């Protein structure tokens, strides 16, 4: 810091002298454009930061034997790249990240003005695979702000646990459409067998049609005989885009009707790359 304080005035003076010499003719007379005001290099945006007073001109004497407090501080004051690394490192710290990370989370949770810092904390929790982190992610998934809940769902999907299925499934009735779709993906990761039963129930009753675009594609990869049988009974009731994963599941199990349906299937206009992928997969299955 002290070296910078000595260097900056000298750099500014050198630039000023260079500018002055550059504006002189060979005869020593100044050569300026008529009416042109002299340029103040101190206002140049490239030099403003160099010329700014240094907040701390002492040596760096912070205790770094425990990096966690420094990493947590980055969640509030760090620039983008250091903050990103701090989130990952707090995840790598495991249990050692607590209680400091938990205190930061709780301090930011109740203060709406600190919601950006809370989102940073949730990002860090998503990298941390401990039980403490998991409980805090569940708490964050109930936060009043949607963006915080969305980040918490990302973390819960990263470290999915089957026991959370019952806690999250009822939220399909209360959340916004976007978060309901996100919950569907998270539930598939948490407990595929239970999610198969839930989605097949929706197909039977005609419920949750707005979620079928996210809910149906994973059925194509099911190896359960009961799921394949139900898909075989249901695929004829739906348009090709929705029926494709059901046909693929049933055909994979050797269902004759599903294999026959594949002979006439043509890829529909579909913006969902996952559904289109399953249509291609089903066609490849027929060729085998």
pLDDT digits (tens, 9 = 90+) for 76-93: 998 889 999 999 999 999
Spell out the per-residue pLDDT of the chain, length 288, in tens: 444 444 445 544 554 445 454 444 445 555 555 666 777 877 888 887 777 777 667 666 777 788 999 999 999 998 889 999 999 999 999 999 999 999 999 999 989 899 999 999 999 999 999 999 999 999 999 999 999 999 999 999 999 999 999 999 999 999 999 999 999 999 999 999 999 999 999 999 989 989 998 899 999 889 999 999 999 999 989 888 888 889 989 988 889 988 887 766 554 545 556 555 655 655 565 455
Task: Tell me what pLDDT residue 288 has.
Answer: 53
pLDDT, residue 40, reads 81
DSSP-assigned letters across all residues of 5-29:
HHHHHHHHHHHHHHHHHHTB-TTS-
Q: Where are the domains of the chain?
A: 2-51, 64-159, 194-288
**In the chain, alpha helices (H):** 2-22, 45-51, 68-77, 80-93, 100-109, 115-126, 131-140, 146-158, 165-168, 177-190, 192-205, 212-215, 225-234, 240-252, 256-264, 273-287
Report the pLDDT value the prediction gives residue 283, as an integer from 0 to 100: 56
């Amino acid at each position: 810091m002290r070296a910078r304080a000595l260097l900056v005035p000298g750099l500014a003076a050198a630039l000023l002298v260079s500018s002055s010499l550059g504006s002189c003719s060979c005869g020593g007379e100044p050569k300026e454009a008529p009416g042109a005001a002299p340029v103040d290099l101190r206002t140049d945006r490239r030099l403003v930061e160099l010329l700014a007073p240094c907040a701390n001109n002492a040596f760096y004497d912070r205790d770094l034997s425990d990096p966690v407090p420094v990493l947590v501080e980055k969640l509030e004051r760090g620039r983008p790249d250091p903050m990103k690394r701090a989130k990952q490192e707090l995840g790598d710290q495991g249990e050692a990240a607590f209680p400091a990370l938990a205190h930061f989370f709780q301090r930011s949770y109740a203060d709406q003005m600190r919601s950006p810092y809370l989102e940073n904390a949730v990002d860090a929790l998503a990298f941390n695979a401990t039980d403490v982190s998991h409980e805090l992610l569940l708490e964050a998934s109930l936060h009043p702000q949607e963006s915080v809940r969305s980040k918490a769902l990302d973390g819960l999907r990263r470290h999915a646990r089957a026991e959370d299925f019952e806690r999250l499934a009822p939220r399909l009735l209360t959340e916004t459409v976007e978060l309901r779709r996100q919950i569907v993906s998270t539930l598939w990761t948490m407990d595929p067998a239970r999610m198969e039963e839930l989605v097949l129930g929706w197909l039977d009753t005609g419920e949750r049609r707005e979620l079928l675009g996210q809910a149906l594609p994973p059925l194509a990869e099911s190896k359960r005989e009961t799921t394949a049988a139900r898909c075989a009974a249901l695929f004829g009731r739906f348009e090709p885009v929705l029926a494709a994963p059901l046909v693929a599941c049933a055909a994979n199990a050797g269902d004759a009707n599903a294999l026959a349906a594949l002979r006439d299937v043509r890829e529909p206009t579909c913006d969902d790359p996952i559904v289109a992928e399953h249509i291609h997969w089903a066609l490849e299955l027929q060729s085998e």
